[in-house]
Amino acid sequence: MNRKKIWLASPHMGGNEMKYVQEAYDTNWVAPLGANVNGFEEDLMRCTKSAGAAALTTGTSAIHLALIMLGVKSGDEVLTSSFTFSASANPITYQCATPIFIDSEKASWNMSPELLEEAIQERIAKGKTPKAIVLVHLYGMPAQIDRILEIANKYDIPLIEDAAESLGSRFKGKALGTYGKMGILSFNGNKIITTSGGGAMISNDVKFIEKARFLATQARDNAPHYQHSEIGYNYRMSNIVAGIGRGQMEVLPLRIEKKREIFKFYKELFADIPEVTLLEEPNEDYFSNYWLTSITINSKDKDREGLRLALEADNIEARPLWKPMHLQPVFADCPAYTDGTSEELFNNGLCMPSDSNMNDEDMARITKVVRAYFKG
Ligand SMILES: *Cc1c(COP(=O)(O)O)cnc(C)c1O
């Protein structure tokens, strides 16, 4: 096959990344600290209107630190979305705590407030108040954050927002990641912006941010020698990587614009294909970065695997939606509050190629394959 590969999402540099990386070289700040780390954190704070940001090695490490700071430890229970990437749940197990999985609602595909409250009441009745909630905003789409926050407050359970896929998304005009005690972001290779690999924690409580920086640099006490009274981690973002981040932040608005155009392209493409439903903003409160345009297929003779293979045959990458955590072998023993929603999404859903590098020619190729598949 000699057709150019169309990716689900690929790194998309803006142009100034090398300038910031070069500055780090020129000033010899090839270190896990420096002007780019500070500058990138300021960019993130400005973009999300949060009081503090800590640049870290990964989104996963950001979730881990958030759980540590909320005191999650062995034997505790932490509620989290079942419909997500494993990185939302893995750090719960790093603390030897148990993830409790909550199914999705149908409008945003994110955590169901009803099932969340049911789970909280049942866990409390069984004798354990959950220690935290890790709420995921998937594919850039805001969860029903106002309702979830209300429940979290009612039972006095701290909320962590996993906004790894949702930088630039907002609910009622407020950036995702700034509703809970802490929000986490990821800059992995296929996210809306990338630093090759990287993550961050944002918060309006600067005490959390300062503590995260402390824990992320091996928990060194204030002393001329190396003095430690707590277990530390090596989770700080490097100054080179942060240079890429600064360049990427300059083009984030452009990337969101393009992702929203891609969503519109699919909306038109599927307009006369009634078997297909798109994940879209339920109402004006929601603003999605549309990181990946996602669909479900409801048909007797067409399915997501058929469409995926048809695209693959033309060297176009599409991917099934996340397989829910409560269906993953590794989490088989964890309690789960489910009603079949995320399982159905997984069975029928597909992430369409949503690469901001795509051009009109690429979209024409996708159009052709999709039309042929549904007409065939
Ligand atoms: C990517 C991702 C993460 C983890 O981020 P990394 O930077 O890859 O560690 C966490 N949660 C979700 C929902 C993600 O998509």
Sorted by where each begins, the domain ranges of the chain are 17-249, 252-375
- Is the C-beta atom of 88 inside 6 A of ligand 1? yes
* CATH T-level assignment (fold) for domain 252-375: Aspartate Aminotransferase, domain 1 (3.90.1150)
Which tens digit of pLDDT belongs to each residue from 284-331?
999 999 999 999 999 999 999 999 999 999 999 999 999 999 999 999
Helix (H) or strand (E) run with residue 100 in it: strand 98-102
Which tens digit of pLDDT belongs to each residue from 55-79?
999 999 999 999 999 999 999 999 9
Query: Which residue, by CA, sits nearest to atom 2 of ligand 1?
Result: 164
- Is the C-beta atom of 65 inside 6 A of ligand 1? no
CA 224 to ligand 1 centroid distance, Å: 36
CA proximity to 345, closest of 277, 292, 269, 265 = 277
CA 125 to ligand 1 centroid distance, Å: 32
Query: How many Å is the Cα radius of gyration of the chain?
Result: 21
CA 187 to ligand 1 centroid distance, Å: 8
Ligand 1 atom with minimal separation from the 87 CA: 10
Ligand 1 atom with minimal separation from the 186 CA: 7
pLDDT at position 3, please?
A: 87
What is the Cα–Cα distance from 175 to 374, expressed in whole angstroms? 38
Residue range 17-249 forms a domain whose CATH class is alpha beta
Which tens digit of pLDDT belongs to each residue from 187-239?
999 899 999 999 999 999 999 999 999 999 999 999 999 999 999 999 999 99
CA proximity to 215, closest of 75, 73, 66 = 66
pLDDT at position 1, please?
A: 57
Residue 355: what residue type? D
CA 288 to ligand 1 centroid distance, Å: 17
Can you read off the two tokens belonging to residue 269? 């493409």
% residues pLDDT > 90 (the chain): 97
What is the Cα–Cα distance from 180 to 177, expressed in whole angstroms? 6
Mean pLDDT of the region 110-139: 98
Q: pLDDT grade, residue 32 (50/70/90)?
A: confident
Of 376 and 38, the structure prediction assigns the larger pLDDT to 38
Answer for the pair 133, 182: CB distance below 8 angstroms, yes or no. Answer: no
C-alpha angle 179-119-146 in degrees, rounded to nearest 5: 25
- Is the C-beta atom of 57 inside 6 A of ligand 1? no
What is the Cα–Cα distance from 169 to 140, expressed in whole angstroms? 6
Which tens digit of pLDDT belongs to each residue from 147-169?
999 999 999 999 999 999 999 99
- Is the C-beta atom of 188 inside 6 A of ligand 1? yes
Q: Is pLDDT at 364 greater than 90 in this prediction? A: yes
What is the Cα–Cα distance from 80 to 101, expressed in whole angstroms? 5
Q: Is pLDDT at 2 greater than 90 in this prediction? A: no
* Distances 92 to 166, 335, 337 between C-alpha atoms, Å: 21, 14, 17
The per-residue pLDDT of the chain, averaged, comes to 97
Answer for the pair 135, 116: CB distance below 8 angstroms, yes or no. Answer: no
Strands 132-136 and 77-81: parallel
Q: Is pLDDT at 121 greater than 90 in this prediction? A: yes
Strands 286-287 and 170-171: antiparallel
Say what the pTM is.
Answer: 0.97
Mean pLDDT of the region 170-179: 98
